[in-house]
A = this chain, B = another copy of it.
Amino acid sequence: MRQDRVEDARGKAAFREIVEHPGAVAILALNDNLEAVLVKQHRQPAGEVLLEIPAGKLEPNEETLSCAQRELLEETGLKAEQWQELSCFYTSPGFCDELIYLYLAEGLSKGVATTSDPEENILEAVIPLSQAGSMIADGLIKDGKTIIALQYAMLKKKILTDKL
């Protein structure tokens, strides 16, 4: 957390509290059946279990792609043949500098997880893209980065639904 001094258009000074974050990656892992691999975990700030795409914070000096490959393996035991960076976005630019690098991972196969974090209790869940729109509309998916990833996948694969 830091405080920045800023000035408005009339030169009036104000202070902004800013949460500093190392940045993160998130992975849209799609299998050949047009299903996305998600994970379920308890999120203390939300006070509930959330369904999210695999994701994790960048380690110091870690490349974003290496981090994405590491997190996918740690959280799902999967590796991917094709990787593509889709976008990079701020989660909450009003008060926090967190940037998420979103990757698309395809050509999935079982890898060998070596360094999974014992503090993380993560369950895998595979959902068809054809159900993603209604799961978002019904509030079953309420994590921002996961909504971005699933909507991207629906647009990319042209999976349209009236349940939005």
Task: Give the size range of A's interface with the partner.
Answer: 35 or more
Question: Which of A1, A45, A88, A100 counts the most chain B CB atoms within 10 A?
Answer: A45
Contact A93 B164 (CB under 8 A): no
Question: Which of A47, A88, A93, A160 counts the most chain B CB atoms within 10 A?
Answer: A93
Dominant SS among interface residues on chain A: mixed
Residues of B close to A1: CB separation below 8 A: 1
A and B contact pairs by CB, cutoff 8 A, 22 listed: A8-B119, A8-B121, A16-B45, A18-B45, A19-B96, A21-B95, A43-B90, A43-B93, A50-B93, A87-B147, A88-B142, A89-B147, A90-B142, A90-B144, A92-B92, A144-B144, A144-B145, A144-B148, A148-B151, A151-B152, A155-B164, A158-B160
Known: A18-B45, A100-B144. 9 other contacts (CB 8 A): A18-B44, A19-B19, A52-B93, A87-B139, A92-B96, A144-B145, A152-B164, A155-B155, A158-B160
A residues with CB within 8 A of B: 1, 4, 6, 8-10, 12, 14, 16, 18-19, 21, 24, 43-47, 50, 52, 55, 57, 86-98, 100, 118-121, 133, 136-137, 139, 142-145, 147-148, 151-152, 154-156, 158, 160-161, 164
